[in-house]
Amino acid sequence: MAKTPDDRRLDLLQGTLDMLILRTLQWGPQHGHGIAQAIRAQSDDLLKVETGSLYPALHRLEKRGWLTSEWDVSPANQRAKFYRLSAAGKVQLSRESDRWSQMVSAIGRIMNPEQATD
C-alpha cells in the first residue's frame, strides 16, 4: 500500500508541544496559525499541530508566564493574537532543551546499545 503524506506524520510526545512552541517563538512573535505552520514546515510536514491542541497549549504557557500576547493585524490583514516569548519563557526553553537532549541520549542508548559509549 502506498503511503500518503498523512501516514508520514508523527504524533508528538506528551510535553513536546510546549517546547516546540517556545522554540518557534524564540525567532520572534507569531500568531497561532503561524506557529502551527512553522512547526509543520520545520519538521518537513511530519509534525502537524491541531488547533485543539495548539490553543490550549498557548493559553497554558501564557498563564505560566512563559508567553505574553497582544492583538495585532496579521500579514493577511486579519486581527490576530500574537504571542511572544517572555524572559521566563526563555529560561524554560533552556530547561526544556536540556531535558530533551538528555531524553534523546537515553533513548538512543536503549535503541542502539552497540553505539553506546562507556
How would you write 26-62 as a 3-class SS string?
CCCCEEHHHHHHHHHHHCCCCCCCCHHHHHHHHHHHH
- Calculated CA dihedral for residues 31, 35, 37, 43, nearest 10 degrees: 170
Note the pTM of the prediction, 2 decimals: 0.82
Question: pLDDT 10s per residue in the chain (118 long)?
Answer: 444 455 555 566 667 999 999 999 999 999 999 999 999 999 999 999 999 999 999 999 999 999 999 999 988 899 999 999 999 999 999 999 999 999 899 999 999 988 765 5
Domains of the chain: 14-108 (1.10.10.10)
